[in-house]
């Protein structure tokens, strides 16, 4: 199972501005605009992963770039001036697209998520939910267009009378959305009588492998870290037909592990074992993960990954060996937002979010952010998995089964092929966080 929550906390004043459009529930949008925004979301995920590997250069990483993107999009709808400009750049929205186009994209995605939550089609094979929620003070007058557009996603709240009760309500919403796997997200005193706004996004996914691992085949073995502190951990094993390939552009072996329903898969990206273990002149281990992430964040690398994940990998017999693991991480999201160029959003006195409220003489700012994610990988299924290869790097296809042995650091992605969206991503460097 894997679960993720992003919350933006804020202390705000009043706002004003114009409604985005007269059509708050659009039924149509230009197909090229939708493609551009889908690509922007994909590239945002890879850029976020690149920055996180620089911030967390030694520990395991796990988070949902999709959840962060959704939370920032909520803020973007109310942003003005330089705050709007910085969020547009951070979200990688093309200059030629207006906020109205982004709103239409949001409305379409919202409708698709509602259909998915009703259990249509492949959703019967897995449990996937994503939801946004606003809690906004009852001392400010909201714009009618915001009330109409967000509807039940927006809740007018009395922060001043009992902030502890509001904090408990928000934590309960998060817990319910993640089926109890993310509890007490907001710590004591995070919500006060001066809080005016909370923007929240929560994601939950639970899927069963299309090809389950037999517990009888699991056994303990060595996981080689990039340093000298190797660990012994439990590996899941199976032989079968999987989509598997080598990308010379990325310098990595790639394995797809689909979940039942065939819409959502885990992709494991593994630098060659020799790269991970080789030494440079300073006698420090080379960071194969960082090299891989840097390639992924380029225009060529991003397109290569997208092509490979959208049915670009050939099927062949593979001997798979993956660690069984469980992680829970709290992301330094404030630091991440600054590196992505969206730091103004959390800067008191600088952020301009006059799009939510009706008083144009006053301003708004967000003051803090929290992001926590948890994942469990077992023989039955997972929402994030890890895998690695140790065979010689080559493009030719050998006749014997490929060996994909996840016994050294790797990157893993959970990808929704139907939406072309990276839901979760992580870096597995060690069975035990350093």
Same domain, 161 and 249: no
pLDDT value of residue 151: 77
Query: 282 and 352: one domain?
Result: no
Residues 237, 281, single domain; the answer is: yes
CB 365 within 8 A of CB 9: no
Contact residues for 114 (Cβ-Cβ < 8 A; gap 6+): none
286: domain range?
215-325+378-428
Q: What is the pLDDT of residue 1?
A: 47
- Together in a domain, 38 and 96: yes
Q: In this predicted model, what pLDDT tens digit does every residue of 72-96 receive, in sequence order? A: 888 888 888 898 999 999 999 999 9
Does 433 map to a domain? no
Q: Give Cα 192 distance to the centre of its chain.
A: 29
Tell me the per-residue pLDDT of 232-272, one tens digit each, with 9 for 90 and over.
889 999 999 999 998 989 989 999 999 998 788 999 999 88
Structure confidence by residue, pLDDT tens digits, 315-369 = 999 999 999 888 888 778 888 888 999 888 877 677 777 787 776 656 555 666 7
* 162-221 pLDDT, tens digit each: 889 988 998 898 888 888 878 888 778 778 887 777 777 777 888 889 999 999 999 999
Other beta carbons within 10 Å of 350: 15
- Tens-place pLDDT, residues 95-151: 999 888 888 888 788 777 667 666 544 556 777 777 778 788 787 777 887 777 777
Evaluate whether residue 292 is within a structural domain. yes
Across the chain, how many H-helices and E-strands are there?
10, 15
Burial class (CB in 10 A: 0-12, 13-18, 19+), 398: exposed
363 and 306 housed in the same domain:
no
Domain count, the chain: 2
Q: Quick one: pLDDT at residue 239?
A: 94
Q: How far apart are CA 37 and CA 30, in angstroms?
A: 11
- Position 161 in a domain: yes
Backbone angles phi, psi at 120, to 5 degrees: -85, 145
- The CATH number given to whatever domain includes residue 403 is 2.30.39.10
State the pLDDT at residue 117: 63
Could you tell me if 149 and 244 lie in one domain?
Answer: no
d(CA 141, CA 151): 15
Which runs of consecutive H residues, i.e. helices, occur in 56-80? 65-78
In a domain, 48, yes or no: yes
Do 220 and 156 have their domain in common?
no
- What count of other Cβ atoms lies within 10 Å of the Cβ of residue 204? 21
pLDDT in tens, 13-33: 222 234 554 444 445 556 788
Q: How far apart are CA 73 and CA 111, in angstroms?
A: 16
Domain identity same for 250 and 335: no
Residue 116's H or E segment, with its range, is helix 99-117
Pair (173, 69) in one structural domain: yes
CATH number of the domain within which 83 lies: 3.30.497.10
166 within a domain of the structure (yes/no): yes
Task: Decide: helix, strand or coil at residue 328.
Answer: strand
């Amino acid at each position: 199972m894997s679960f993720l929550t992003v919350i933006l906390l804020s202390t705000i004043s009043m706002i004003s501005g114009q409604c985005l459009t007269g059509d708050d529930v659009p039924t149509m949008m230009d197909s090229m605009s939708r493609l551009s925004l889908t690509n922007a979301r994909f590239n945002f995920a890879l850029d976020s992963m690149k920055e996180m590997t620089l911030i967390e250069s030694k520990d395991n990483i796990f988070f949902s770039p999709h959840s962060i993107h959704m939370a920032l999009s909520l803020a973007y709808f109310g942003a003005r001036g330089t705050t709007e400009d910085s969020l547009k750049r951070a979200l990688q929205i093309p200059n030629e697209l207006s906020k109205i186009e982004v709103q239409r994209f949001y409305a379409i995605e919202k409708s698709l998520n509602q259909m998915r939550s009703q259990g249509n089609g492949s959703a019967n094979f897995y449990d996937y939910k994503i939801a946004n929620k606003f809690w906004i003070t009852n001392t400010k007058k909201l714009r009618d267009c915001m009330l109409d557009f967000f509807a039940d996603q927006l809740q007018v709240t009395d922060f001043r009378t009992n902030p502890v009760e509001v904090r408990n309500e928000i934590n309960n919403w998060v817990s319910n959305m993640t089926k109890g796997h993310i509890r007490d997200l907001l710590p004591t005193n995070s919500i006060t009588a001066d809080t005016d706004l909370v923007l929240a996004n929560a994601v939950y996914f639970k899927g069963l492998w299309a090809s389950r691992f037999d517990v009888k085949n699991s056994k303990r073995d060595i996981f080689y870290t990039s340093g000298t502190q190797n660990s012994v951990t439990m590996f899941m094993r199976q032989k079968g037909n999987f989509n598997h390939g080598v990308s010379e552009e990325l310098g990595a072996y790639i394995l797809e592990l689909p979940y039942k329903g065939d819409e959502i898969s885990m992709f494991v990206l593994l630098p060659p074992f020799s790269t991970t273990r080789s030494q440079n002149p300073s006698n420090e281990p080379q960071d194969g993960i960082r090299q891989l992430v840097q390639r992924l964040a380029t225009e060529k690398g991003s397109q290569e990954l997208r092509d490979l994940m959208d049915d670009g990998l050939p099927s062949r017999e593979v001997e798979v060996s993956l660690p069984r693991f469980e992680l829970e991480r709290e992301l330094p999201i404030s630091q991440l937002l600054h590196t992505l160029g969206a730091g103004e959003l959390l800067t008191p006195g600088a952020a301009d979010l006059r799009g939510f409220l009706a008083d144009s003489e006053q301003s708004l700012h967000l003051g803090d952010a929290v992001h926590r994610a948890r994942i469990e990988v077992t023989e039955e299924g997972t929402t994030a998995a890890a895998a690695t290869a140790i065979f010689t790097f080559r493009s030719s296809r050998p006749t014997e089964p490929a060996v994909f042995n996840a016994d050294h650091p790797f990157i893993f992605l959970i990808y929704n092929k139907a939406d072309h969206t990276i839901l979760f991503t992580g870096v597995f460097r060690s069975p035990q966080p350093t």
